[in-house]
């Protein structure tokens, strides 16, 4: 049975022994700091904060939700006991064949257990954290789903954009660039002089969190994608203010309008980024006037602050699954695995080389699709791409830099890139160069490459199976 909502997901995480409960932490920086320290621990526990400093018990925050491979697999409906690379492969295959599930409308949604409208709206009721010490303010949405309706086609877009609290009934919604679907939809309303109906869902089903992060094409429904992940439809109910279909079992929902921009704007951020820096300054951002706040009893805010790598929102590198599919769709055979390290800033492809140029062909496709990634490495199929030590062993023993590296210029990065010089950024530069490292045995003399003395992964698994208990100190 799939988990039905965030609460059931948390119960499953607890059953795995991966949940820690924290009482009394300060939303000003301490909840963020605890989240970052926990995310850096070997077992990377999920955290449920309650009774935050200055707030009554019952207003909760859940962080590090899917930051371990096991919890990411759980969210994706994949066997959580699989090794991480096998889990990503299973997700890649599942994702390629997903049968979309239409959402179903229900009456009496859980989010209407409490509803505050108009003058009764007060966002200060929620312990929205200041996640990093130098953040520009408190964020009620760091992993929040923003729901909008395209005025032309009626298509519902639901994507993850961050949401900063500015006043009792005012928040900003941050689109990284004007190509974001949310930005495109909002502009259509603004161009006809209207405010854009919008809802912010903070505390959504983890499958919606994944769907909201996916690069789905315009017109595609994140609700249907999330339903397909779970093989069960997402339950929805129209919002009282906007009429937008809202996830019925969500924890906290803000309804209102995004006011025409740039006539209305507020300075947003800065906000600590997933690179571990503040590389984008405070920027003018569209303002949402919040007309209503609905929430479940004892609501749970889903927090997913960006943190210094290797900590990342997802314990499995979901974008690597997309690159793996791209390679297969382009006809690149024998891909053994794709992984991303350093919070998706480094992409590794493992393949069994069949012909001269095979590795470079894969590298170019991976590089083209590596957002902000300066480093693309190709390794042979006896190297585990998810194991950074294994990858560096290949880099230092199989790659002759004078022959097996290339630099691609003016490639895909973003304003969040800390290494683009300030003058270039001011001119609107959002590209960088990418280094390709072919850490593979040179194809021309692959048969004469020195034989491995190291144990193969397969042999190691046989040993683990037979002797693992004793090696771990058991009988
Ligand atoms: C935790 C988290 C926070 C994010 N924050 C933002 C954000 O503030 N602004 C943004 O434009 N994209 C953000 N993203 C990335 C988008 O959700 C992602 O690129 C998505 O595919 C955009 O959807 P769209 O193509 O429908 O616009 C975030 C992703 C995650 C997982």
Question: What separation in angstroms does the CA of 214 have from each of 59, 95, 319, 416?
Answer: 29, 11, 8, 19
Three-state DSSP at 439 gives strand
Residue 5's pLDDT band, with cuts at 50, 70 and 90, is very high
Place of tokens 């869902």: 201
The CATH number of 318-469 is: 3.40.1670.10
| Residue among 414, 343, 165 nearest 269 (CA) | 165
Give the count of alpha carbons within 13 A of 15, CB side only: 9
In angstroms, what is the span from residue 393 Cα to ligand 1's centroid?
Answer: 34
In angstroms, what is the span from residue 304 Cα to ligand 1's centroid?
Answer: 12
Given a cut of 80, whether residue 17 has pLDDT beyond it is yes
In tens, the pLDDT along 213-263 reads 999 999 999 999 999 999 999 999 999 999 999 999 999 999 999 999 999
Mean pLDDT of 341-346: 98
Give the model's pLDDT for residue 191: 97
Place of tokens 């300054």: 281
The Cα angle at residue 436 between residues 435 and 437, in degrees rounded to 5: 115
**In the chain, where the domains are located:** 6-303, 318-469
Three-state DSSP at 161 gives coil
Question: Distance between CA atoms of 14 and 19, rounded to whole angstroms?
Answer: 5
In angstroms, what is the span from residue 221 Cα to ligand 1's centroid?
Answer: 15
Give the model's pLDDT for residue 93: 96
The Cα angle at residue 234 between residues 246 and 252, in degrees rounded to 5: 40
In tens, the pLDDT along 419-459 reads 999 999 999 999 999 999 999 999 999 999 999 999 999 99
CA torsion sign, 389 to 272 to 298 to 232? negative
Would you say the CATH fold of 318-469 matches that of 6-303?
no
Atom of ligand 1 nearest to the CA of 214: 21
Whole-number average pLDDT of the chain: 97
Atom of ligand 1 nearest to the CA of 180: 27
In angstroms, what is the span from residue 316 Cα to ligand 1's centroid?
Answer: 17
Mean pLDDT of 157-171: 98
Question: Distance between CA atoms of 307 and 273, rounded to whole angstroms?
Answer: 7
Question: Distance between CA atoms of 243 and 231, rounded to whole angstroms?
Answer: 26
Give the model's pLDDT for residue 474: 83
User: Which value, to the nearest 10 degrees, does the dihedral of the CA atoms of residues 371, 145, 306, 124 take?
Assistant: 150
> Whose CA is closest to atom 7 on ligand 1?
161
| Residue among 38, 32, 283 nearest 134 (CA) | 32
Given a cut of 80, whether residue 475 has pLDDT beyond it is no
Atom of ligand 1 nearest to the CA of 183: 27
Mean pLDDT of 318-330: 98
- Greatest pairwise CA separation for the chain in angstroms: 77
Give the predicted TM-score (pTM) of the model. 0.96
Question: Distance between CA atoms of 305 and 277, rounded to whole angstroms?
Answer: 13
Q: Tokens standing for 454?
A: 């190291």
Give the model's pLDDT for residue 119: 98
Strand-pair category, 139-141 with 145-149: unpaired
Three-state DSSP at 222 gives helix
Give the model's pLDDT for residue 2: 86
Question: Distance between CA atoms of 258 and 241, rounded to whole angstroms?
Answer: 13
Taking residue 321's Cβ as centre, other Cβ atoms within 10 Å add up to: 25
Fold of 6-303: Pnp Oxidase; Chain A (2.30.110)
In angstroms, what is the span from residue 213 Cα to ligand 1's centroid?
Answer: 6
Q: Tokens standing for 46?
A: 């999920």
Residues with CB under 6 A from ligand 1: 143, 157, 159-162, 174-176, 180-182, 212-215, 304, 313
Taking residue 79's Cβ as centre, other Cβ atoms within 10 Å add up to: 12
């Amino acid at each position: 049975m799939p988990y039905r909502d965030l609460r059931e997901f948390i119960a499953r995480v607890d059953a795995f022994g991966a949940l820690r409960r924290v009482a009394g932490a300060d939303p000003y920086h301490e909840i963020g700091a605890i989240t970052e320290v926990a995310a850096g621990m070997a077992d990377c526990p999920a955290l449920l904060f309650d009774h935050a400093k200055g707030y009554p018990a019952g207003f909760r925050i859940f962080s590090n939700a899917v930051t371990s491979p096991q919890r990411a697999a759980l969210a994706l409906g994949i066997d959580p006991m699989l090794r991480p690379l096998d889990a990503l492969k299973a997700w890649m295959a599942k994702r390629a064949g997903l049968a979309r599930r239409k959402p179903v409308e229900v009456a009496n949604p859980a989010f209407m257990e409490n509803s505050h409208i108009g003058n009764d709206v007060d966002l200060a009721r929620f312990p929205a954290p200041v996640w990093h010490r130098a953040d520009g303010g408190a964020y009620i949405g760091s992993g929040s789903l923003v729901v909008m309706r395209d005025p032309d086609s009626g298509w519902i877009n639901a994507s993850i954009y961050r949401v900063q609290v500015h006043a009792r009934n005012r928040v900003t919604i941050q689109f990284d660039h004007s190509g974001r679907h949310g930005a495109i939809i909002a502009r259509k309303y603004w161009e006809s002089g209207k405010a854009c109906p919008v809802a912010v869902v903070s505390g959504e089903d983890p499958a919606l969190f994944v769907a909201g992060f996916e690069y789905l094409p315009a017109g595609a429904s994140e609700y249907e994608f999330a339903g397909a992940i779970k093989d069960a439809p997402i339950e929805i109910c129209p919002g009282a203010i906007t009429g937008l279909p809202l996830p019925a079992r969500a924890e906290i929902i803000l309804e209102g309008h995004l006011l025409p921009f740039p006539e209305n704007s507020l300075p947003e951020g800065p906000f600590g980024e997933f690179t571990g820096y503040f590389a984008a300054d405070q920027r003018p951002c569209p303002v949402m006037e919040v007309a209503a706040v609905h929430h479940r009893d004892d609501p749970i805010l889903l927090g997913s602050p960006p943190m210094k790598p290797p900590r990342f929102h997802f314990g499995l590198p979901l974008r690597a699954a997309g690159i793996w599919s791209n390679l297969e769709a382009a006809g690149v055979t024998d891909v053994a695995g794709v992984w991303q390290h350093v919070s998706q800033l480094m992409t590794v492809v493992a393949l069994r080389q069949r012909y001269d140029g095979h590795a470079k062909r894969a590298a170019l496709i991976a590089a083209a699709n590596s957002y902000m990634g300066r480093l693309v490495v190709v390794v042979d199929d006896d190297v585990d791409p998810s194991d950074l030590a294994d990858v560096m062993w290949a880099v230092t023993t199989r790659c002759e830099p004078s022959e097996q590296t290339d630099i691609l210029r003016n490639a895909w990065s973003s304003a969040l890139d800390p290494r683009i010089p300030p003058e270039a950024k001011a001119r609107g530069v959002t590209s960088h160069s990418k280094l390709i490292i072919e850490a593979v045995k040179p194809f021309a003399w692959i048969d004469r490459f020195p034989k491995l003395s190291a144990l193969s992964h397969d042999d190691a698994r046989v040993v683990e199976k037979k002797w693992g208990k004793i090696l771990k100190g058991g009988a």
